[in-house]
Structure 1
Amino acid sequence: MNRLLVRVPNWLGDLVMSLESLSGLASRHPRTTFWAHRRVAGLLPVFFPGVPLIAAPDRPGRGEYDSLLLLTDSFRSALEGFTAGIPVRMGHSTQMRRPLLTRTLRPLKGRGHHHSLDYARLCRLADEEPSSVPAPSAEPSGSPHIAVFAGAAFGPAKRWGGFAEVSSVLSNELGIPAVFYGRPSEAGLLSSLAADVPGSVVKTDLDLPALCSELLSAVEALGNDSGGIHLAAALGVPSVAVFGSTSPEWTAPRGRLTASVAPEMECSPCFRRACSSVPAPCLASVKPETVLEACRALLGRASEVS
Structure 2
Amino acid sequence: MSALTSVLVVRLSSLGDVLFAVPAVQHLQRSGRAGHVAWLVEDRAAGLLRELVPLDELLVFPRGRRSAWPAHIAALRRRRDDVVLDLQCNLKSRLQRIFLRAPRKLGYARPIAREGGERGLTESFSPSPHCRHRVDCHLAALSMLGVEPPSEAPRPELKIPRETRARARTLLARAPGSGPVVVLHPGTSAFGQLKRWDPARFAALGSALASSHEARLIVTGGPGEQALVAGVLASLGRRALAVPPEGLTMLAALLAESDLLVASDSLPLHLANALGTPVVGLYGPKDPAITGPRFDRSEVLTAGVACSPCTLRRCSDRLCMRRLEVDDVGAACARLLAEPRA
Q: TM-score range by the shorter chain?
A: 0.7 to 0.9
> Are residue 264 (structure 1) and residue 301 (structure 2) matched?
no
Name the aligned partner's letter for residue 197 of structure 2. W
Secondary structure of the corresponding residue to residue 268 of structure 1: coil
Query: 1:117 pairs with 131, 136, 145, which one?
Result: 136
Measure, in 1, the Cα distance between the counterparts of 2:119 and 2:283.
38
Alignment of 1:56 onto 2:61: yes
Cα distance in 2 between the residues matched to 1:123 and 1:51: 18
Greater relative contact order (Cα < 8 A, sep 6+): 1
CA RMSD of aligned residues (A): 2.5
With over 3 angstroms needed to count, the CA separation of the structure-2 counterparts of 1:79 and 1:246, relative to structure 1, is: closer
Superposed displacement of residue 238, structure 1: 0.5
Unaligned runs of 5+ in 2: 63-71, 173-180
Per-residue deviation, 1:125: 2.4
Partner of residue 122 from structure 2, selected from 102, 115, 120: 102
Q: Which runs of 5+ in 1 are unaligned?
A: none
Q: What's the counterpart of residue 185 of structure 2?
A: 149
Once the two structures are TM-superposed, the CA of residue 167 in structure 1 deviates from its matched residue by: 1.9
SS at match of 1:101: coil
One-letter amino acid of the structure 2 residue matched with residue 146 of structure 1? V
Residue of 305, 329, 334 corresponding to 1:291: 329
Shift of 1:47: 5.2
Aligned partner of 1:37 in structure 2 is: 42
What's the TM-score once normalised by structure 2's chain length? 0.79
Change (3 A) 1:60 1:26: farther
Match of 1:82 in 2: 98
- Give the match for residue 175 of structure 2: none
Write the distance in 2 (CA, Å) between the matches of 1:99 and 1:113: 22
* CA distance in 2 between partners of 1:259 and 1:97 (Å): 33
- 1:199-218 residue pairs with structure 2 within 5 A? 199=238, 200-218=240-258
State the distance in 2 between where 1:122 and 1:85 align.
21
Q: CA deviation at 1:272?
A: 2.2
Counterpart contact for 1:24–1:129, Cα < 8 Å:
no
The amino acid that maps onto 1:254 is R
Does the Cα contact within 8 Å between 1:82 and 1:101 map onto a contact in 2?
Answer: no
- Pairs aligned (count): 301
Whole-Å Cα distance in 1 between the matches of residues 117 and 148 of structure 2? 24
Distance 2:156 2:322 in 1: 38
Point out the structure with the larger helix share: 2
Secondary structure, in 3 states, of the residue corresponding to 2:187?
A: coil
Structural mapping, 1:85-234, within 5 Å: 85-93=101-109, 94=113, 95-106=115-126, 113-131=132-150, 132-138=154-160, 139=162, 140=165, 141-143=167-169, 144=172, 145-153=181-189, 154-161=191-198, 162-199=201-238, 200-234=240-274
Q: CA deviation at 1:45?
A: 4.7
The one-letter code of the counterpart of 2:325 is K
The answer to whether the Cα contact below 8 Å between 1:69 and 1:90 also exists between their aligned partners in 2 is yes
TM-score normalized with structure 1 length: 0.87
Corresponding residue SS for 1:18: helix
Instruction: Return the alpha-carbon distance in structure 1 between the equivalents of residues 323 and 188 of structure 2.
Output: 18
d(CA) in 1 for partners of 2:88 and 2:18? 10
Residues 53 and 254 of structure 1: CA distance in aligned 2, closer, same or farther (over 3 Å): same
Contact 2:281 2:299 in 1 (8 A): yes
Displacement of 1:82: 3.0
- Report how far residue 151 of structure 1 moved: 1.4
Give the alignment of 1:1-40 within 5 angstroms. 1-28=4-31, 29-40=34-45
Whether the 8 Å CA contact 1:240–1:260 is kept in 2: the answer is: yes
Hey, what's the Cα distance between the residues in 2 that align with 1:98 and 1:281?
Answer: 34
CA 1:156–1:60: 2 relative to 1, 3 Å: same
Q: Which residue pairs with 2:87 in the alignment?
A: 71
